[in-house]
């Protein structure tokens, strides 16, 4: 009898810890879910996360709502996701910074990007733009380099927190130029770009989605795209390599993760829903119109995302450490 009681206690204890039983996993989802976006509303992470929350809502038959949990370069919201119940009702729409490279910048990070999540799938990659305020004198990357060197002490760079992709992109740029401007943190690049529109900061390195409408409206200037090729959306903006600064290359991934231990049937349902959504012409058209490169079938799913995270950590950690130490 004692043994039976013990085994019942252990079983229920396990289910309580994992947060979801077998039948529940099979029936998933039976209630609304949350997609944490670890940055302010209106920026690339938020817009991408909302597109995916909508995909899950439509394909899983329950509402998935976005919760913006900004702070500490996206690590506050990502920590919350890592600690959430592994039941598929709390997901994180993260990126290269939060879900791969944060550990480079935060030695005491509360989560391990590779060990504490179940990768669901890559959504898209978004090349960064070097965008400057409209009345900053330089009009090309070469002119920016000369201007930045001559005016380093009064130059202000906006970013979305240490370890965010806007921080990482501009870190590569600044270290290639050899400057240390004043860094001005925001809770996301939407407020950073707003500050630039108001003339309070000089430049930002932001995934194209953020500055694109303002560049088109002529209210800020795009001097370079940090990618191997130009974007069809801004064909007149040369790449950084074309302008002699190939080190400034940054096209961060945006992807969905669940807490570690999320049951396989739940992961499978999320993967299937995401893939269905990414195949929808309207979703593809929307992401592409924002400058994103949508994940093609061969790059989708948990395994491909785990490899991408691992590969980016291995590739960029030494480069970023060297840039920080400069
Ligand atoms: C945002 O959505 O605000 C950006 O993607 C944040 C970042 O720079 O990492």
DSSP 225-286: E-SSS--TTSTTS-BTTTTT-TT-----EEEEEEETT--HHHHHHHHHHHHHHHH-HHHHHH
Q: Is 187 in the pocket of ligand 1 (CB under 6 A)?
A: no
Mutating to test ligand 1, I would choose from 35, 36, 39 the residue with most ligand atoms within 8 A of its C-beta, which is: 39
Rounded Cα–Cα distance for residues 158 and 166 (Å): 8
Q: How far is CA 145 from CA 178, 208, 240, in A?
A: 9, 20, 11
State the pLDDT at residue 229.
95
pLDDT tens for 241-253 read: 999 999 999 999 9
Q: Average pLDDT of the chain?
A: 94
Q: At what angle do helices 301-325 and 264-279 cross, to 10 degrees?
A: 80
Q: What is the mean pLDDT of residues 200-225?
A: 97
> Is 299 buried (19+), middle (13-18) or exposed (0-12) by CB count in 10 A?
middle
Q: Is 181 in the pocket of ligand 1 (CB under 6 A)?
A: no
Q: How confident is the model at residue 9 (pLDDT cuts 50, 70, 90)?
A: very low
pLDDT tens for 56-77 read: 999 999 999 999 999 999 999 9
Residue 2 has pLDDT above 90, yes or no: no
State the pLDDT at residue 21.
59
Tracing tokens 């190939």 back to the chain, one arrives at 246
Closest ligand 1 atom, CA of 37?
Answer: 2
State the pLDDT at residue 15.
46
Cis peptide before 18 (omega within 30 of 0): no
Q: Is 207 in the pocket of ligand 1 (CB under 6 A)?
A: yes
Closest among 169, 164, 96 to 128, alpha carbons compared: 169
Closest among 159, 176, 308, 160 to 245, alpha carbons compared: 176
Closest ligand 1 atom, CA of 166?
Answer: 8
Q: Give the side-chain half-sphere CA count within 13 A for 233.
A: 25
Sign of CA dihedral 236, 241, 246, 250: positive
Q: What is the mean pLDDT of residues 215-221?
A: 97
State the pLDDT at residue 1.
42
State the pLDDT at residue 7.
47
Q: Is 239 in the pocket of ligand 1 (CB under 6 A)?
A: no
At 220, is the secondary structure helix, strand, or coil?
strand
Q: Is 46 in the pocket of ligand 1 (CB under 6 A)?
A: yes
Closest C-alpha to ligand 1, atom 3: 188
State the pLDDT at residue 20.
53
- Sorted by where each starts, the structural domains of the chain and their CATH numbers stand as 33-125+252-325 (3.40.190.150), 128-225 (3.40.190.10)
pLDDT tens for 108-143 read: 999 999 999 999 999 999 999 999 999 999 999 999
Q: What is the mean pLDDT of residues 291-314?
A: 97
Closest ligand 1 atom, CA of 167?
Answer: 8
> With pLDDT > 70 as the criterion, what percentage of the chain qualifies?
93
């Amino acid at each position: 009898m004692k043994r039976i009681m013990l085994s019942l206690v252990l079983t229920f204890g396990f289910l309580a810890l994992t947060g979801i039983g077998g039948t529940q996993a099979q029936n998933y989802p039976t209630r609304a879910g949350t997609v944490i976006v670890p940055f302010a509303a209106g920026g690339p992470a938020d817009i991408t996360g909302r597109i995916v929350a909508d995909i899950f809502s439509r394909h899983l038959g329950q509402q998935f709502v976005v919760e913006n949990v900004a702070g500490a370069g996206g690590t506050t919201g990502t920590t919350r996701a890592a600690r959430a119940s592994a039941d598929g009702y709390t997901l994180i729409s993260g990126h290269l910074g939060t879900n791969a490279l944060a550990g480079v910048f935060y030695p005491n990070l509360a989560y391990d990007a590779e060990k504490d999540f179940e990768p669901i799938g890559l959504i898209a990659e978004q090349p960064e733009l070097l965008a400057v305020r409209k009345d900053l004198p330089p009009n090309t990357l070469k002119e920016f380099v000369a201007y930045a060197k001559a005016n380093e002490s009064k130059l202000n760079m906006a970013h979305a927190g240490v370890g965010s992709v806007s921080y990482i992109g501009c870190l590569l740029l600044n270290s290639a130029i050899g400057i240390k401007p004043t860094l001005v943190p925001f809770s996301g690049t939407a407020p950073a770009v707003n500050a630039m529109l108001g003339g309070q900061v000089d430049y930002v390195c932001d995934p194209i989605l953020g500055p694109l409408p303002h560049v088109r409206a002529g209210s800020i200037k795009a001097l370079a795209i940090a990618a191997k090729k130009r974007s069809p959306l801004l064909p007149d903006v040369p790449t950084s390599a074309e302008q002699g600064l190939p080190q400034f290359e940054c096209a961060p991934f945006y992807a969905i993760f669940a807490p570690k231990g999320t049951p396989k049937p739940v992961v499978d349902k999320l993967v299937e829903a995401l893939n269905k959504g990414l195949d929808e012409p309207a979703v593809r058209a929307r992401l592409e119109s924002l400058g994103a490169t949508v994940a093609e079938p061969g790059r989708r799913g948990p395994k491909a995302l785990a490899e991408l995270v691992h590969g980016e950590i291995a590739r960029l950690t030494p480069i970023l450490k060297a840039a920080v130490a400069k």
